[in-house]
Structure 1
Amino acid sequence: MDLRQINFGIEIETVKRTRERVARAVQSVVGGEVRHVGSPAGFDPWEITDEQGRTWKVVADGSLINVPGHLRAEVVSPVLAYADIPTLQEVIRAVRRCGAKIDQRCGIHIHVDAIAFDGRTLGNLAKIIYKQEPLILNALGVNETRQRNYSKPVSEDLIRKIERRRPKTKEQLNRIWYGYHNRRPQHFDSSRYHGVNLHNVWYRGTVEFRWFEGTLHAGKVRAYIQLVLAVAAKALNGRAASSRKRRFDPQSARYDFRVFLLHLGLIGDEFKTARKHLLAGLPGDSAFKRGRPKPETQTAVEAEFPTEAGPQTRPPAFSGNGTAETDEGGAP
């Protein structure tokens, strides 16, 4: 499955502007009508029915405790297709222009349609994330509080159970995830607070990715969406996945993550901006595993006593079918 074929949804938390004001900012992009639903009272939702008949929501979020309740606004999108990403970006820009802000408690959650997944491919997804999660968390700059409370890493115990039982169906994986067959999952189940939340598969029919720090930078949000769609497509298309955990190495982190992104298919000009944003926070050099080599010029002492760094290694470039080819045109 191509990543562009996977539907998604997104929740973006903001502060400093009322829900009505944020809702009208959304309407300025998607058109349609705005109405104050107000119920359930705890969420005090405003709804925007866009020109395609889809419903966008702006709701309260109880976790945004740094501001008064009337200045907490979480934008909840309808189900979106890949082609809707530019519209979503314009919504984000409009919300920013209306004066909405982000603080350290704000986050972003991205939901990926789980309809195409079964037990095996959800297992693939868990193993891919478990292997690469140290890199992903560092690339996204996920703070320790978020990791500890709201987006816990994939557990080794879950991976070992998946590898031992090899689930084929969602129901078989349900027993592994909960420890029993949970026929009626509830919204506030404690297992939801993982960076990759599989509880939502049975509660809402999506895989939820909860890692992301809040932002109203439209380009970064696009990059986050492309990352999770690419990971989902990789899990769906693979016959199996390795769970051998990658050690985070600051010297080669940017190189290692670039190779991971290329393996996911985030290649070429369409994903150039995504690579830029996703690699920006990592140390190292994206083109050289051991750091960029020094110029050829050497002193007499250097020539007599060369370093032991050895040859530099550049990351391979990959074609659309996953085979190595000539470099894609330099570092992204």
Structure 2
Amino acid sequence: MDRKKKVKLLGEHFGVKPKYLGAPSFAYEIETPKEIYTIDREGRIMIPAGEEIEFEELIAGPEESLSYELEIPMDGHSGRSLRNIVNMIYSRQPLIKKALNIEENIVEEDLVIKINEADIKSIDSLERAMKDIDDLDHPGIKFNFQDKTIIFKHTGTEAATWLFALINKNAKAQKRALAKVKATDNEKYTFRTWLTRLGMVGDEYKEIRKELLQNLSGNSAFRKPGESYE
């Protein structure tokens, strides 16, 4: 099988668009929430750890876009950055729920209040703060402190998977995310600008942004109704 065919099939399998890297490597890159695969000039599939992965092994595995849960290692996180995830989701929860067409909350207000009142620094301190918190207070996300992973639910689409993956990434970079829900009279514009801040920019995210905005009201291009380029 030639390289172009291999790249095309892998892109379809993972539900993502392969990225051509150009000179000097002339390789293709396929980035999923769990791994980055590089297909070199010889058609070899490599991961950042330097290991070569067999094409048949990847194709035989489950399609990631069909997964209903996204499990991410806590690597690089502190207790504060994990709290950032909760606060980021809570502050945009009405729009996230509408974008993903889900009824239940991802996190409840009781959880948000408790972990923001606690002195959170390390992951252990967050675990202690959440010790007496019921799972019903965070039905859409789970912190597995034993396995050191974060499990996001409601990820039955590629768009949802990327949304939570970018929330996780940005939570590590932010010093403090506030759990403050702001009202908006233009859902599409508000959510689009937030997606941009998360890093969902460029043509590679075009279809994902479109999917996430389709259930929202308003105009994604203009903040105020009636505005135009003229």
Q: Normalising TM by the smaller chain, what interval?
A: 0.5 to 0.7
Give 1:120 deviation, angstroms: 0.9
Assess if the C-alpha contact under 8 Å between 1:254 and 1:282 holds in 2.
yes
Structure 1 runs of 4+ off > 3 angstroms?
A: 4-8, 189-193, 292-296
Give 1:236 deviation, angstroms: 0.4
User: What letter corresponds to residue 141 of structure 2 in structure 1?
Assistant: V
Assess if the C-alpha contact under 8 Å between 1:6 and 1:113 holds in 2.
no
Give 1:157 deviation, angstroms: 2.5
User: What letter corresponds to residue 154 of structure 2 in structure 1?
Assistant: W
| Structure 2 counterpart of 1:169 | 122
The 1:195–1:269 alpha-carbon spacing in structure 2 relative to 1, beyond 3 Å, is: same
**Structure 2 CA distance, aligned partners of 1:211 and 1:272?**
21
Q: Structure 2 length normalisation: TM-score?
A: 0.67
The 1:239–1:51 alpha-carbon spacing in structure 2 relative to 1, beyond 3 Å, is: closer
Give 1:153 deviation, angstroms: 3.2
Correspondence for 2:86 among 120, 126, 130: 126
**Structure 2 CA distance, aligned partners of 1:270 and 1:155?**
33
1:234 aligns with 2:167: no
Give 1:132 deviation, angstroms: 0.8
**Structure 2 CA distance, aligned partners of 1:236 and 1:169?**
13
Assess if the C-alpha contact under 8 Å between 1:196 and 1:207 holds in 2.
yes
Unaligned runs of 5+ in 1: 9-28, 32-49, 57-76, 78-86, 93-106, 181-188, 215-220, 297-332
Correspondence for 1:208 among 151, 170, 176: 151
**Structure 1 CA distance, aligned partners of 2:85 and 2:126?**
12
Assess if the C-alpha contact under 8 Å between 1:117 and 1:236 holds in 2.
yes
Give 1:225 deviation, angstroms: 2.2
Assess if the C-alpha contact under 8 Å between 1:114 and 1:206 holds in 2.
yes
The 1:190–1:241 alpha-carbon spacing in structure 2 relative to 1, beyond 3 Å, is: closer
Superposition map of 1:133-144 within 5 A: 133-142=93-102, 144=103
Superposition map of 1:301-320 within 5 A: none
| Structure 2 counterpart of 1:275 | 209
**Structure 2 CA distance, aligned partners of 1:293 and 1:169?**
46
Paired residue secondary structure (2:150): strand
1:245 aligns with 2:181: yes
Assess if the C-alpha contact under 8 Å between 1:285 and 1:292 holds in 2.
no
Paired residue secondary structure (1:159): helix
The 1:231–1:294 alpha-carbon spacing in structure 2 relative to 1, beyond 3 Å, is: closer
Give 1:267 deviation, angstroms: 1.1
User: What letter corresponds to residue 110 of structure 1 in structure 2?
Assistant: L
User: What letter corresponds to residue 7 of structure 1 in structure 2?
Assistant: K
Assess if the C-alpha contact under 8 Å between 1:131 and 1:245 holds in 2.
yes
Give 1:273 deviation, angstroms: 1.6
| Structure 2 counterpart of 1:225 | 161
**Structure 2 CA distance, aligned partners of 1:6 and 1:110?**
8
Assess if the C-alpha contact under 8 Å between 1:122 and 1:235 holds in 2.
yes
**Structure 1 CA distance, aligned partners of 2:93 and 2:225?**
22
The 1:292–1:5 alpha-carbon spacing in structure 2 relative to 1, beyond 3 Å, is: same
Q: State the percentage of identical aligned residues.
A: 28
Q: Structure 1 length normalisation: TM-score?
A: 0.48
Assess if the C-alpha contact under 8 Å between 2:81 and 2:171 holds in 1.
yes
Structure whose alpha-carbon radius of gyration is higher: 1
Assess if the C-alpha contact under 8 Å between 2:87 and 2:112 holds in 1.
yes
User: What letter corresponds to residue 108 of structure 1 in structure 2?
Assistant: Y
| Structure 2 counterpart of 1:288 | 222
User: What letter corresponds to residue 230 of structure 1 in structure 2?
Assistant: L
User: What letter corresponds to residue 273 of structure 1 in structure 2?
Assistant: E
Paired residue secondary structure (2:218): coil
| Structure 1 counterpart of 2:197 | 263
The 1:294–1:240 alpha-carbon spacing in structure 2 relative to 1, beyond 3 Å, is: closer
**Structure 1 CA distance, aligned partners of 2:194 and 2:215?**
15
Give 1:30 deviation, angstroms: 6.0
Paired residue secondary structure (2:171): helix
